[in-house]
Structure 1
Amino acid sequence: MARDTGFPRADAENDFLRARRGQVLSRLAAWLRREPDDVNIMLPFDEVVAALGRAGERRLGLQVIRLDSIVGSVDRTRDFDRRFRPTSIRVRERWQRLALAQRRGESVPPIEVYRIGELHFVQDGHHRVSVAHALGQETIEAYVTQVRTRISADGIRYRGDLIVKDHRRLFLERVPLTGQARASVLVTDPADYAHLGEHVEAWGFRLMQDEGEFCDRAAVARRWYTEEYEPVVRMLRQADLVGRRTETEAYLWVAGERYRLIRTHRWDDEVIAAVRERGRRPQ
C-alpha cells in the first residue's frame, strides 16, 4: 500500500523503490520455491492470440476493469513483471512523474487494453498500471477492445500454458469437436494432442473404407466421439482403468496398448481384459 509522509515527491520516489524491491523479492521467492521460470513474467499478447487463434475484435469503449485482470502486454513484457512491478530502473523517471501526479490528485488518462476472455493486455498505459498497483488501487479506467479467439483463454496462468493451448487449437482444427465433446476431450501433455489428432484421422479413414462413403472432418469428429470415444471411456471407468490421468489420456494409453498387445481395432470385454492383464495400469 502507498505510504504518505506529506511530501508527494519523496513519497513517489519511495513508491518506486518499494515496487522495485517487491519485484526483486518476488523473483528470489520463486527461485527458492523452484517455481517455473515464467511464473513472474507477464503474458505476451501476440503469443496468446497466436496460441488461441484470432477470430475477430470489437471496441467496447471506456470501462472500469480490475487491476488483477491485467496479466499481459502488447510490447512491454521486459519492463514490468506479472504484477507490473518495474524490472529495472530505466522506467524510473516516467514512473515517478506519474506517481507524483496521482499523489497530487491530477487527472490521469485511461489506459488502453485488449480483452481476451477475462484477461486484459495493455496496449498503452503500462506505467499507469504499475503506479496504480503500487498505490494499492483495485480498479482502473480503460478503453477496451475485445478480441475473439477460436479457443477459450480459460486455464492460462503462465507463458508455458500457451504451448498446450496452441497444440489444442491445432487439434481442434483437425478434429472440429463441438459442445460437450469439445470441452471433455482434454490432455495435459501438448504432444498428446498431435497423437490424438493422428489417431482420430486414422479412425476416420477406416470408417470411410468400411462404409465406402466420404466423411468430412466435422462428421468424422462427431462420429468418433459418439461411436468410439464415449463408449470406450465408459468401459474404462467401469474397469477402473482411468487412474489419475484425464479420461482422454486413459483412452490414448489403452488404445495404444490394445493394438500393441492383440493387434486389433475393435473394442469389447476381451480387449479390456487383455489390456488390464498384460498392460501397465495408467497412474
Structure 2
Amino acid sequence: MSPSRDTGFPRADAEHDFLRARRRQVLSRLAKWLRGEPDDVNIMLPFSEVVDALGYQGERRIGARVIRLDSIVGSVDRGRDFDRRFRPTSARVRERWERLALATRRGEHIPPIEVYRVGELHFIIDGHHRVSVAHALGLSTIEAQVTDVRTKLDPSGIRFRGDLIVKDYRRLFLERVPLTGQARAAVLVSDPWDYAKLGEHVEAWGFRLMQDEGAFLDRARVAQRWHDEEFVPVVDMLRQADLIGDRTEAEAYLWVAGERYRLIRTHRWDDEVIEAVRTRGR
C-alpha cells in the first residue's frame, strides 16, 4: 500500500484517510463479487474457531514484540467492523478511527495492541482501530503485547475460514489415529470428509488385527502398525503401478482400498487386486 498523503492539515488528512479506507473496502467487496470468489475471502478469521479446529493446548504471555501487520489475520470478537485487511466495513467506527489517525499523524504515543499468536498468525484482542489506521497509513509493522497459544495442529496453510474445516477434521482424525513423526506428516487429504472415512477405515483395520492376534492394542499402537504394515507397503505398490496420479498418497490409498473391496470383496493386497483396480476401477 502506498503511504497516505500529507497536506499539512492533520485533521483533514485523518478524515481523508478514513474515506479512502472505506472506498477501498467497498471496491474490494465489489471486485470479489465480480470474480465470483467465496464469501470468506475478505472475512477475518475468528480466533475461537481457529483454536477449536487446531486443538487448544495452552498459552503463555511473551510480552512486547514488533509484529508485521500482514501477520494479523483475525480477531477475538470484532470481526464485523473490519474486513480481512482491516478496512472499515461501515461508518460506525469513523469517529474513533479518525481520532486515532489524527493522533498517529501528530506523532502522539499510541499504546501497543494486544494479540494472540498462533504459529505465525496473530489475532487481535484489543486494537482493531489501531491496526486499521496503521494499514491505511502505509505502515508494515506495529507494536503488540503478545500471548503465544499452543495448538495440537500446525496452523500453517490456513488462509480462509473454509480452511478450518480441513484442520478440524484432521484434528479429529489424529485423535482417532494418533500417528507421530513422519507417519503423521505423510497422511494428508484435501477433502475434509476423507479424514472421517480414513479414520473409520483404520479403526476397522485395527479391529481385524486384534481379532487375528487375540490381543488388545491401544489407538497409538494400531495407528503405528497400520502405517508401517498397511499404508507404506500399499503406497509403494500403488506408486509402482502408477496409480497415485495427482492425489496425495493417503487419497490414493483410500480410493484403491474402497475399489478393492467393491470389485473383488477382499481385504488382501496382491498383484491380482492391483490389476483388477487398474483395469476395472479407473
TM band (smaller chain)? over 0.9
* In structure 2, C-alpha distance between the alignment counterparts of 1:170 and 1:23, rounded to whole Å: 36
Per-residue CA distance 1:60-81 (angstroms, 9 max, x = gap) = 0000000000000000010000
* One-letter amino acid matched to 1:44: P
Superposed counterparts of 1:135-150, under 5 Å: 135-150=137-152
Partner in structure 1 of residue 63 of structure 2: 61
Partner in structure 2 of residue 17 of structure 1: 19
1:225 matched to 2:197: no
Partner in structure 1 of residue 218 of structure 2: 216
Partner in structure 1 of residue 273 of structure 2: 271
* In structure 2, C-alpha distance between the alignment counterparts of 1:183 and 1:87, rounded to whole Å: 39
| Post-superposition offset of 1:155 | 0.4
Q: Secondary structure at the match of 2:100?
A: helix
| Post-superposition offset of 1:219 | 0.2
Partner in structure 2 of residue 90 of structure 1: 92
* In structure 1, C-alpha distance between the alignment counterparts of 2:271 and 2:37, rounded to whole Å: 44
* In structure 1, C-alpha distance between the alignment counterparts of 2:24 and 2:163, rounded to whole Å: 25
Per-residue CA distance 1:144-171 (angstroms, 9 max, x = gap) = 0000001110100000000111101000
| Post-superposition offset of 1:246 | 1.2
Q: 1:47 aligns with which of 46, 49, 70?
A: 49
Q: 2:83 aligns with which of 81, 84, 94?
A: 81
* In structure 2, C-alpha distance between the alignment counterparts of 1:277 and 1:179, rounded to whole Å: 35
| Post-superposition offset of 1:247 | 1.2
Q: Secondary structure at the match of 1:113?
A: strand
Partner in structure 2 of residue 29 of structure 1: 31
Q: 2:260 aligns with which of 258, 261, 274?
A: 258
- Residue correspondences, number: 280
Gaps of 5+ in 1: none
1:195 matched to 2:197: yes
Partner in structure 2 of residue 239 of structure 1: 241
| Post-superposition offset of 1:35 | 1.3
| Post-superposition offset of 1:30 | 1.2
* In structure 1, C-alpha distance between the alignment counterparts of 2:261 and 2:13, rounded to whole Å: 69
TM-score (norm 1): 0.98
Q: 1:109 aligns with which of 108, 111, 115?
A: 111
Per-residue CA distance 1:82-121 (angstroms, 9 max, x = gap) = 0100000000000000000000010000000000000000
* In structure 2, C-alpha distance between the alignment counterparts of 1:16 and 1:202, rounded to whole Å: 59
Partner in structure 2 of residue 170 of structure 1: 172
1:160 matched to 2:162: yes
* In structure 1, C-alpha distance between the alignment counterparts of 2:24 and 2:62, rounded to whole Å: 34
Per-residue CA distance 1:206-264 (angstroms, 9 max, x = gap) = 00000111100000000000100011111111111111111111110000000111111
* In structure 1, C-alpha distance between the alignment counterparts of 2:107 and 2:28, rounded to whole Å: 30
Q: 2:127 aligns with which of 125, 128, 132?
A: 125
* In structure 2, C-alpha distance between the alignment counterparts of 1:29 and 1:185, rounded to whole Å: 37
TM-score (norm 2): 0.98
* In structure 2, C-alpha distance between the alignment counterparts of 1:234 and 1:66, rounded to whole Å: 43
* In structure 1, C-alpha distance between the alignment counterparts of 2:238 and 2:32, rounded to whole Å: 39
Per-residue CA distance 1:3-28 (angstroms, 9 max, x = gap) = 10110000000000010011111111
* In structure 1, C-alpha distance between the alignment counterparts of 2:89 and 2:185, rounded to whole Å: 38
| Post-superposition offset of 1:32 | 1.3
Q: Secondary structure at the match of 1:38?
A: helix
| Post-superposition offset of 1:270 | 1.1
